[in-house]
Structure 1
Amino acid sequence: MNNKDTNQDTGLERIATGVPGLDEVLKGGFFEGAVYIVRGTPGAGKTILANQICFQHARQGKRALFVTLLAENHARMLQHLEQMSFYDGRLIPKYVYYISAFRVLEENGLKGMMDLLRREMRAHEATILILDGLIAVEETSTSDREFRKFIHELQAHAATAGCCTLLLTNGRRGEYHPEHTMVDGLITLEDVPYGKRRQRELEVRKFRGSSSLRGRHPFQITNDGLVVHPRPESRFLRNAGVESDRQISTGVEQLDRMTQGGLIADTSTLLLGASGSGKTTLGMAFLQESSKQQPGLHFGFYESPQRLIANAQLLGIDLQSLVTAGHLEVLWRPPIERILDSLGNELIDAVRRRKVRRLFIDGWGGFAAAAETKERLGPFFAAVCNELRSLNVTTVCAVETDNLIGPDMRLPIEGISAITENMIMLRFSEYQGRLRRLISIMKIRGGGFDHSLREFDIGPQGLRFLDTFENAEAALSGFAKHAEHASTRRPASSRAPIKKKPAKGRRAPARRRGKA
């Protein structure tokens, strides 16, 4: 990524942060000569973020000045940073220069502090300045007016020097801060609890000169530093494009006939069914049609690639040869302490990387387990599906229902059926002393389909359809009862007449004599 990028709207130069995901949230990075406040509680990641930006900036041959006002000296801070992959001691002090100004502020006050900053910016030709510990300047000020004057002077010097300035503070006062109205931007870092989990989140509250991705975006602190995961709901906003009239095979000949030629391309299909009903098998059959022209992707949560491929082989589905040829990729993301936004972005990035045309998500419960709240699942799913359509991907998503047998169909997400174009239902029915698998098409938007209820079996030859399930009554109740086939019934003339009992309280009519 280039260190500078001109903003077409304002003509100002951009300074990329180099932090994964953050430049996308900022739509290019910070502005040269601007002043920003980075606010967060202790431990939120402010100092790591600032150092990461400095070293990424230095790798571009630019210079950064890091001034700390904290009691902890920078030597101890650097010891902690040595564990981070972005840290490079060879860049110190030529490109990244550290100063401890705690004593200067105590002895000479705000004026002495400002003189130090102005002098060091000019001496080191810094284009990024970090002031870690703005709260110390605030506490040293005798009034809000004096503190605002310090911010104003710092803005003037930064603009003259073309130096982007980040002011780090924990913001111990109330929500309203007068200095927030003066600076060019405000970014907050928070550690938010969700039940027994905690999730770090970044939000751009203010950003002059450009738009940014709105809302709170999760981030992680890793050995590589901060990694920001932009929310798909704010990231993917483009239209889905022109609807396609092409059809692609489901991988099962009988299902292609039921859908009158296969699934409509660039649409999303829900495979609804209880555990063990055959969703993964049907998804693997769909991926078996992957090719150089239609690259496939299996994005799963519950089975490792080795186990998935081995199970497919037992059903006569050869996924290994497709993986070897590069026509299919299998990605496994165990649903343990995952971040929903990270999963969504990984999925879209994998689709873009290989220009995937066939996608099977196995299954939706992996996303649901990573969501911080249930309310997010609907908008999240809509944003991801819309982006997949824009990328010309035909998606099949397995969704587990909680009822094994019965007439009710309870969807795990309210409104999810309206988001997708197609719905296929897999369920069990108890019939003649054994469980049978049934399949039915519930919806094909923009196309016709066979409304029949079909029985199918899963064996060494894969998924095999049986005759239409029309010799059972109330099959969808889950407890089918045998109905006598019409060909085995006696003719109407040979049946004994059915005698009706008279209604209660009435006498049976007397039999009439004579000719009828």
Structure 2
Amino acid sequence: MTESLEQPFGLRQFPTGIAGLDRVLSGGLFIGGNYMVMGPPGAGKTILGNQLCFHHIASGGRALYLSLLAETSSRLLATLERFTFYTPDALGDTITYFSGSSALEKGGLEELLQLIRTETRRLRATLLVLDGTTVLEGVSSQQDWIRFLYGLYVSAEITECTTILLMQTPQSTDLSREQTIMEGLIELAMPAYGMRAARELRVRKFRGSGFLEGRHSYAITEAGIVVHPRTEELLAAAQIASPGVAATAEQESKKRIGPARLDDMMRGGLPADSITLLLGASGTGKTLLGSHFLLANATQREPALYFGFSERPSRLERKLARFGLDITHARAEGHLEVLWQSPLQPHLDVSAERLLEAIRRGNIRQLFIDGLGGWQRAIGSAERLDLFLTALFSELQALNVTTMCSVELPALFSPTLELPMTVSGIADLADNLIFLRYVELESQLYRLLSILKMRESDYDPAIREFRITNHGIDVAPTFASAQAILTGVAVPLSREEQSKPFPAKAEDAEGRQP
């Protein structure tokens, strides 16, 4: 038995063995509690029930799995063999399977309840899973059903045997009587978002402890049920439990972006621990500028992380090498990690878990998220992205990570700055905004850069032209070559001015307009 199972009786929790579910339940189930798990066919109720049993016996408990379904125990066990939690050696020893159908047919709910009490005592079970309780609706009245639930509640408390009922989601949404008796109610659902199906877990009630509210993603894998708590709910609970500390002198320093003249425009670089958005259409140089930022600060003391949705590590290395940015050496030395996230990953919270785990594992101090739109494709509801990013940005700042994110703008040319609807609210939360854009003039494209916002620092607001060269991004020393405004009205330069390269050193680094 684990230590938690050997404590004196009281409101004592023990882990379910499913890490994400334990986070949602703030620790796990209570000894002697009775819980109901509801869901439609195929939601994974039976898998969850068996997984809880095998994790329970692995920690020293004894489990009893009683089924009212037509499926035989041998067929059920055959389907469990593909899961890694299944251990056949425990069968008949610390975990027992049997059917309650005969008792139910013989004496109804009263006979079934008596069987449960007898076998629980005989086997010294500390966890009981009752599968297929939906069939009881057809053989009992509502009054008998409530009396049966109350009998299980009393039996669980007396024997200290935690009881879990698995049943299909009832047609009636009125579960007021069941919720009064049951100490916990967990609902599994399979909603559809457009053409994509999802799996979501929701705790509707959990007596004796707080829990993470709302819907949480889960998946059925070889390991069984894997629960991914909703990122914003999980991070909010963690931040309440561990409030931030006062900023240090190191946190108040600046982090270079890389291109010297851009650093000059930002009076030395980005404020440490700040959030910066790179806004620009496709091809304006967002990935390149973000990579400049990572390499400018990547050292053993300040390791960096690239997290992107489109560039695999090998492809990113080849792409940046064309511009004189060698990330191969930085990766080999352990100063830079490149983490690719498949844009086909349907779970928003899975990618957030990977990102935060990599940051904590590598003590990351510089982060470039290449393409916030990659998370847009992983959300089931559009209104969630703002909440998700708000919680994530707050956590990154609490971890002392200076973060830069690229945001794809929908139009190559636009007289106004139009943010995608899914990230329009995040611009207000960001500390710094850098705008990269195209200007078309005499059948040629020019790239312009401007700083729209810096919350904790003075900066140069002038519009600068920048070019992508064999050595990366080169920013003009003054505004003279960028006589254009954000509405797209441009004044042609002379041929001599157009062909003149940017000087190696800016004579007017401030670039202030007359």
Specify the alignment match of 2:358 in structure 1: 350
The counterpart of 2:157, out of the listed 153, 156, 159, is: 159
Specify the alignment match of 2:102 in structure 1: 103
The counterpart of 1:403, out of the listed 403, 411, 427, is: 411
Shift of 1:240: 5.5
The counterpart of 2:333, out of the listed 315, 322, 325, is: 325
8 Å contact from structure 1 (residues 403, 409) kept in 2: no
8 Å contact from structure 1 (residues 5, 16) kept in 2: no
Q: Cα 1:369–1:146, aligned 2, differ >3 Å: closer, same or farther?
A: same
Specify the alignment match of 1:260 in structure 2: 267
Shift of 1:410: 1.1
Q: 1:162 is aligned with what amino acid?
A: E
Q: Cα 1:418–1:47, aligned 2, differ >3 Å: closer, same or farther?
A: same
C-alpha distance in structure 2 between counterparts of 1:299 and 1:431, whole Å:
35
C-alpha distance in structure 2 between counterparts of 1:129 and 1:256, whole Å:
64
Tell me whether 1:465 sits opposite 2:466 in the alignment. no
C-alpha distance in structure 1 between counterparts of 2:204 and 2:73, whole Å:
29
Shift of 1:337: 4.3
Tell me whether 1:303 sits opposite 2:302 in the alignment. no
C-alpha distance in structure 2 between counterparts of 1:157 and 1:229, whole Å:
33
Alpha-carbon displacement from aligned partner over 1:196-217 (angstroms, at most 9, x marks no partner): 1111100000000001001011
8 Å contact from structure 1 (residues 65, 121) kept in 2: yes
Q: 1:169 is aligned with what amino acid?
A: M
Shift of 1:61: 2.3
Specify the alignment match of 1:140 in structure 2: 139
Q: Cα 1:454–1:11, aligned 2, differ >3 Å: closer, same or farther?
A: farther
Shift of 1:134: 1.5
C-alpha distance in structure 2 between counterparts of 1:477 and 1:428, whole Å:
11
Query: Who wins on radius of gyration, i.e. which is larger?
Result: 1
SS of the aligned residue for 1:423 comes to strand
Q: TM-score, normalised by structure 2?
A: 0.90
Q: TM-score, normalised by structure 1?
A: 0.90
Shift of 1:331: 0.9
C-alpha distance in structure 2 between counterparts of 1:162 and 1:349, whole Å:
37
- Give me the CA root mean square deviation: 2.2
Shift of 1:291: 1.5
SS of the aligned residue for 1:86 comes to coil
Alpha-carbon displacement from aligned partner over 1:106-130 (angstroms, at most 9, x marks no partner): 1122222112111111122211110
C-alpha distance in structure 1 between counterparts of 2:379 and 2:126, whole Å:
39
C-alpha distance in structure 1 between counterparts of 2:98 and 2:345, whole Å:
39
C-alpha distance in structure 1 between counterparts of 2:298 and 2:207, whole Å:
47
C-alpha distance in structure 2 between counterparts of 1:484 and 1:38, whole Å:
74
Query: What are the within-5 Å matches in structure 2 for residues 429-508 of structure 1?
Result: 429-478=439-488, 480-482=490-492
Tell me whether 1:292 sits opposite 2:300 in the alignment. yes
C-alpha distance in structure 2 between counterparts of 1:109 and 1:359, whole Å:
62
Mean CA deviation greater in 337-346 or 198-207: 337-346
Tell me whether 1:247 sits opposite 2:271 in the alignment. no
Shift of 1:219: 0.7
Specify the alignment match of 1:168 in structure 2: 166
Query: What are the within-5 Å matches in structure 2 for residues 368-383 of structure 1?
Result: 368-383=376-391
Aligned length: 484
C-alpha distance in structure 2 between counterparts of 1:252 and 1:12, whole Å:
59
Q: 1:116 is aligned with what amino acid?
A: L
C-alpha distance in structure 2 between counterparts of 1:115 and 1:130, whole Å:
15
8 Å contact from structure 1 (residues 240, 387) kept in 2: no
Specify the alignment match of 2:277 in structure 1: 270
Shift of 1:11: 5.3
C-alpha distance in structure 2 between counterparts of 1:366 and 1:265, whole Å:
25
Q: Cα 1:469–1:323, aligned 2, differ >3 Å: closer, same or farther?
A: same
Alpha-carbon displacement from aligned partner over 1:173-202 (angstroms, at most 9, x marks no partner): 401132221110100000001111111100
Shift of 1:18: 1.0
Q: 1:283 is aligned with what amino acid?
A: G
Shift of 1:137: 2.8
Alpha-carbon displacement from aligned partner over 1:360-402 (angstroms, at most 9, x marks no partner): 0011110011111211111111011011111111100000001
Query: What are the within-5 Å matches in structure 2 for residues 228-247 of structure 1?
Result: 228-237=227-236, 238=239, 241-243=245-247, 244-247=251-254
Shift of 1:172: 2.6
Mean CA deviation greater in 143-152 or 233-242: 233-242
Alpha-carbon displacement from aligned partner over 1:408-453 (angstroms, at most 9, x marks no partner): 1111122111111110011111235421111111101011001111
Shift of 1:459: 2.1
Specify the alignment match of 1:23 in structure 2: 22
C-alpha distance in structure 1 between counterparts of 2:29 and 2:216, whole Å:
17
Specify the alignment match of 1:67 in structure 2: 66
C-alpha distance in structure 1 between counterparts of 2:449 and 2:10, whole Å:
59
Shift of 1:245: 1.9
C-alpha distance in structure 2 between counterparts of 1:33 and 1:50, whole Å:
16
Shift of 1:471: 4.5
Shift of 1:231: 0.8
SS of the aligned residue for 1:245 comes to coil
Q: Cα 1:102–1:193, aligned 2, differ >3 Å: closer, same or farther?
A: same
Q: 2:262 is aligned with what amino acid?
A: L
The counterpart of 1:386, out of the listed 377, 389, 394, is: 394
C-alpha distance in structure 2 between counterparts of 1:467 and 1:405, whole Å:
24
Q: Cα 1:402–1:171, aligned 2, differ >3 Å: closer, same or farther?
A: closer
Mean CA deviation greater in 10-19 or 185-194: 10-19
Specify the alignment match of 1:514 in structure 2: none
Q: 2:147 is aligned with what amino acid?
A: K
C-alpha distance in structure 2 between counterparts of 1:210 and 1:367, whole Å:
32
Specify the alignment match of 2:126 in structure 1: 127
Specify the alignment match of 2:502 in structure 1: none
SS of the aligned residue for 2:97 comes to strand
SS of the aligned residue for 1:452 comes to coil
Alpha-carbon displacement from aligned partner over 1:68-94 (angstroms, at most 9, x marks no partner): 001111211111111111111112121
Q: 1:315 is aligned with what amino acid?
A: F
Shift of 1:275: 0.6
Alpha-carbon displacement from aligned partner over 1:117-160 (angstroms, at most 9, x marks no partner): 1111112221111000112233322x222221111111111111
Q: 2:162 is aligned with what amino acid?
A: C
Specify the alignment match of 1:222 in structure 2: 221
Alpha-carbon displacement from aligned partner over 1:240-259 (angstroms, at most 9, x marks no partner): 65454221111222221111
Q: 1:122 is aligned with what amino acid?
A: R
Q: 1:287 is aligned with what amino acid?
A: L
C-alpha distance in structure 1 between counterparts of 2:150 and 2:442, whole Å:
83
Q: 2:347 is aligned with what amino acid?
A: I
8 Å contact from structure 2 (residues 73, 98) kept in 1: yes
8 Å contact from structure 2 (residues 259, 475) kept in 1: no
Q: 2:354 is aligned with what amino acid?
A: E
Mean CA deviation greater in 463-472 or 211-220: 463-472
Shift of 1:58: 1.5
SS of the aligned residue for 1:356 comes to coil
C-alpha distance in structure 2 between counterparts of 1:297 and 1:120, whole Å:
55
Tell me whether 1:213 sits opposite 2:221 in the alignment. no
Specify the alignment match of 2:148 in structure 1: 150
Shift of 1:483: 6.1
